[in-house]
Structure 1
Amino acid sequence: MRKSIIISGVLAGMMLAGTAQARDYISISGSSTVLPFATIVAERLGRNPDFKTPVVESGGSSVGKKSVCDGVGTEFTDIGNASSRMKEKELAYCGTNGVKLTEIKVGYDGIVVAGSKAGELLTISKADLGKALTAMVPASEVRNYKTDVMVPNPFTKWSEINPDLPDIAIRVYGPPTTSGTRASFAEMVNEKGYCGKDDEAKRVLKIMGEKAKICRAMRTDGVYVEAGEQDNLIVQKLQEDPTSYGIFGFSYLDQNADTLQGAVISGTAPTFDNIATDNYSVSRALYFYVKHQHMGVIPGVADYMNEWTKHWDEDGILAESGMIPMPAAERASYAAAMKDLPLLTADMLK
């Protein structure tokens, strides 16, 4: 019996080794916002003849977090990129599949509402922006109804939200529900910027027994248009239609500053300095999640993480490409985490 167990263990080890040899490159997927930065790092690692260039794919933050949690083995993703932090229920899914992760923050990013320089510069408050894009608004804000209910958003022009805004149709291109950018925008702008600040919305929601997060839902009546996870496609649409606006990460505005301009939100323009100094209110952290079980199995995972640390400071190529660097102390903390691989737990996400 003992001998058969040993033989079985040897065979299992040989199978694992064979599986590991089936993929000799790092597989990364997730956030379209993190995508350009992860691609830069991957290409830099690929200059090392000891490693193949990692394959970096988009799909959205939800896809990145799910794919890295789907299972252990070389058929599964090694690293998931995200522009929204992992939730407890997402980590629980990891647990059901036996996946152990370490969370690495790599920098910060501002979410911009951009438009063509050939169109009108949008200067708007977070409350008005949320009111324009949230799916439900208080009936009393529509036609001064007395009814204390939330109704589908009927506003079709920016000027109907606020007479100081452009008298043009509201048309905003943005990411789908799988996107961390969309989740962060809906929370910061729709929920907290509008429903969390608008007195009438707060009053009606309280009467209805609803939480402000009901306002996170984006409109589905054609005013907000899902344009997929390819932010470059949104950029192209804005260049073609100067009356429309688009939602994406600051780096895409930065790389297209010759044709696009970012909306001034609550008095602050989306500039590198404003985001870096926390003066721009619509900003968030960027992450990747690395799978413990693939360390030492997929070649180059530790080297890929270390490659980030070579380029993520104030003078690095990632900052030049639009990513907002973390303060030095945070960079040091996460550089240490890349080596120590602290296990991500639910308590850390509370």
Structure 2
Amino acid sequence: MSILKQASTAALVAASVIAFSGAAVARDQIRIVGSSTVYPFTTAVAEQFGKAGGKTPIVESTGTGGGMKIFCEGVGVDKADATNASRRMKKSEYEMCAKNGVTDIVELKVGIDGLTVARLKGAEPIKMSRKQIFQALAEQVPDKDGKLIANPYKMWSEIDASLPAVKIEVLGPPPTSGTRDSFHELFMEKGAEGFDTLKALKDSDAKAFEKVWKSIRKDGAFVEAGENDNVIVQKLEGNKDAFGIFGYSFLEENTAKLEGVQVEGVEPNYDNISSGKYKGARELYVYVKKQHVGVIPGLDKFVAEYVSEKALGEDGYLSKKGLVSLPKEATDKMRDGAIAMAVLKGDELK
């Protein structure tokens, strides 16, 4: 390399460092984006962080997919410091981050959530199987001969006489939401596997099978109600026959007016989610840019607060908000990695 080229490269690096650290003075507040499901937990940690003397972080509810896009835009004081996610980061997202210079990512697995199907209280308690949920919401379903046809079901009772004789109307998240991804995998995919013909399709043509369980009907039976789970809760209050899909913490906050559907005969409650007995259980994450530590004031201390026993312990303040704790061993391992700012490896992701 020529002396001139070396000098140019050194100058560019120095300019980047100066720009980053100079602008850091202009931003002394942590910025977090991402999942609406994780939002109330991260907001609670932000409030505790503020009470302890730090500047209360800005937390925005953008949805998991939207949060990943913002998080992966790059490194710098005009970029987000962390993102919430109601599913694990995808390998494609990790690669997008790396392409934009976000190379050192710290993964916090903060707890477990239950993906719930709920409705207004007052009606008879309802039990559904994942197969029935698939039948209600898939764009195509098998007929009696196993052939895929356009979904003919208008009423829940047409699927099974034990279900209510009301129009199928389910309010749920958009495709950019991690909750939507979890719903597909935990309910729709598993429900599709309840049909012998679709199980055979999975073995013979995995891509065709995936298209079936990922395709939601567009005739009004499923209504995309936005990224904000609170909006879904509010809409259920004005529609006694509709069902909503959202995280357990939102059901827990609204137990006076909402009731969760028993899935495969199991009620969505803390113990059933924690034990894995409830089939809608999923892990929740927060991703942090290690490259912003030491540049954005207090980011390392915010991480320490998030993974502390007083936050994540079984009697912690996040548990009181509906976050289901991971097993102690898993929490301790995650905490050690978080405090050490251990960097996520791309080969761990799918």
TM normalised by structure 2 equals 0.92
Deviation of the 1:236 alpha carbon: 1.1
The match for 1:86 is 89
The match for 1:22 is 26
Q: Against the structure 1 CA distance between its residues 249 and 331, is the aligned structure 2 distance closer, same or farther, given a 3 Å change threshold? A: same
- Structure 2 unpaired stretches of 5+: none
The match for 1:197 is 194
Code of the residue aligned with 2:192 in structure 1: it is C
The match for 2:80 is 77
Tell me how far apart the structure 1 counterparts of residues 337 and 202 of structure 2 sit (CA, whole Å): 42
> Is 2:134 the partner of 1:130?
yes
Deviations, residues 55-95 of structure 1 (Å, cap 9, x unaligned): 00111111122211111111111101101111111111011
Q: 1:59 aligns with which of 59, 62, 67?
A: 62
Deviation of the 1:327 alpha carbon: 1.2
Secondary structure class of the residue paired with 1:59: coil
Contact preservation (8 Å) 1:176, 1:229: yes
The match for 2:48 is 44
Q: Against the structure 1 CA distance between its residues 320 and 38, is the aligned structure 2 distance closer, same or farther, given a 3 Å change threshold? A: same
The match for 2:98 is 95
The match for 2:314 is 314
Contact preservation (8 Å) 1:150, 1:204: no
Deviations, residues 223-282 of structure 1 (Å, cap 9, x unaligned): 010100111111111111111110000000000000000001101000111111111011
Tell me how far apart the structure 2 counterparts of residues 35 and 203 of structure 1 sit (CA, whole Å): 39
Contact preservation (8 Å) 1:253, 1:260: yes
Code of the residue aligned with 1:98 in structure 2: it is G
Code of the residue aligned with 2:311 in structure 1: it is H
Code of the residue aligned with 2:336 in structure 1: it is A
Tell me how far apart the structure 1 counterparts of residues 11 and 202 of structure 2 sit (CA, whole Å): 65
Secondary structure class of the residue paired with 2:149: strand
Deviation of the 1:47 alpha carbon: 0.9
Code of the residue aligned with 2:40 in structure 1: it is P
Q: Against the structure 1 CA distance between its residues 209 and 45, is the aligned structure 2 distance closer, same or farther, given a 3 Å change threshold? A: closer
Aligned pairs, how many?
A: 342
Code of the residue aligned with 2:61 in structure 1: it is S
Deviations, residues 168-197 of structure 1 (Å, cap 9, x unaligned): 1111101111111111111111112x2122
Deviation of the 1:12 alpha carbon: 4.4
Which aligned pairs between 1:196-235 and structure 2 lie closer than 5 A? Answer: 196-203=193-200, 210-214=207-211, 215-235=213-233
Tell me how far apart the structure 2 counterparts of residues 8 and 236 of structure 1 sit (CA, whole Å): 52
Tell me how far apart the structure 1 counterparts of residues 127 and 159 of structure 2 sit (CA, whole Å): 13
Code of the residue aligned with 2:90 in structure 1: it is K
Q: Against the structure 1 CA distance between its residues 30 and 12, is the aligned structure 2 distance closer, same or farther, given a 3 Å change threshold? A: closer
The match for 2:236 is 238
Deviations, residues 134-183 of structure 1 (Å, cap 9, x unaligned): 22212xx2xx4x5x653322211111111111111111101111111111
Q: Against the structure 1 CA distance between its residues 295 and 275, is the aligned structure 2 distance closer, same or farther, given a 3 Å change threshold? A: same
Q: Against the structure 1 CA distance between its residues 164 and 8, is the aligned structure 2 distance closer, same or farther, given a 3 Å change threshold? A: closer
Matched-pair identity in %: 41
| Root-mean-square deviation (Å) | 2.0
Tell me how far apart the structure 2 counterparts of residues 121 and 205 of structure 1 sit (CA, whole Å): 33
The match for 2:115 is 111
Contact preservation (8 Å) 2:20, 2:77: no
Code of the residue aligned with 1:29 in structure 2: it is V
The match for 1:342 is 342
The match for 1:278 is 276
Tell me how far apart the structure 2 counterparts of residues 321 and 7 of structure 1 sit (CA, whole Å): 49
> Is 2:324 the partner of 1:324?
yes
Contact preservation (8 Å) 1:159, 1:165: yes
User: Comparing 38-47 with 228-237, which one deviates more in the overlay?
Assistant: 228-237
Code of the residue aligned with 1:107 in structure 2: it is G
Secondary structure class of the residue paired with 1:317: coil
Code of the residue aligned with 1:347 in structure 2: it is D
Deviation of the 1:300 alpha carbon: 1.0
Tell me how far apart the structure 1 counterparts of residues 240 and 43 of structure 2 sit (CA, whole Å): 30
